[in-house]
Amino acid sequence: MKLAGIELVDTALVREAMDLAKSASEPFLYSHIMRSWLFATVLVENTRSTVNPELLAVATLLHDLGLTERFAADARFEVDGANAAKSFLQQHGVPEEQIRLVWDAIVLHSTGSIALHKEPIVAVTFEAIQADAIGWSLDRIPGNQLQAILTEFPRMEMKKKITACFCRQAREKPGTTYDNTLRDFGLRFVEGYTAPSGPELIANAPFAE
């Protein structure tokens, strides 16, 4: 399979992951997902990392299922997405050790302070997704490939729409946003949103000292 001039792994599992992501996601989110997969593929090629391309494809393709109406549950969206991907892989008979890697890659895709110290698939998944979200590691994507990816999968008001997604999480599931970056979206954009701070939690612990 070739998209934006980039050769991609092409298996039944990957095709089904693509179909699942597309059917569950808003168009802008699916475009983001596909760019993330393409960025991940380029990063691996350029660094010669030893990463299973099929697992990397599934991790990037399914990383935002927790932001979709179909798969949103009660946990923070990264966990909801990782759990949905786990169920998908279990249904396809993927070994548990490989499922764990994909689960970790998805659940940590917005937590670089941990992801970058994990297995290569976890680190690359973080780097690729954040390349599209905030420009992380874009200097490692050749300009011609970057332009081809953006042409194949346009951003479609990505900044505005992903902000709206995160604000919806803060509005509807505030308890899942206190210990991650979604807290910032709630505090800045969502009227009435409040979140406990680290100092408050320590001060209010049920101990005398």
Pairwise CA distance, residues 178 & 48, whole Å: 37
pLDDT value, residue 47 = 81
Report the 3 state secondary structure along the chain: CEECCEECCCCHHHHHHHHHHHHHCCHHHHHHHHHHHHHHHHHHHHHCCCCCHHHHHHHHHCCCHHHCCCCCCCCCHHHHHHHHHHHHHHHCCCCHHHHHHHHHHHHCCCCHHHHCCCCHHHHHHHHHHHHHHHCCCHHHCCHHHHHHHHHHCCCCCHHHHHHHHHHHHHHHCHHHCCCCCHHHHHHHHCCCCCCCCHHHHHHCCCCCC
Tens digits of residue pLDDT in 100-115: 999 999 999 999 999 9
Q: How far is CA 12 from CA 42, 57, 85, 203, in A?
A: 21, 12, 15, 53
Q: Where are the domains of the chain?
A: 2-156, 158-209
Confidence check: pLDDT of 49 > 90: no
CATH 1.10.3210.10 fits 2-156, yes or no: yes
Query: Which range is least confidently modeled, 11-20, 43-52, 87-96?
Result: 43-52
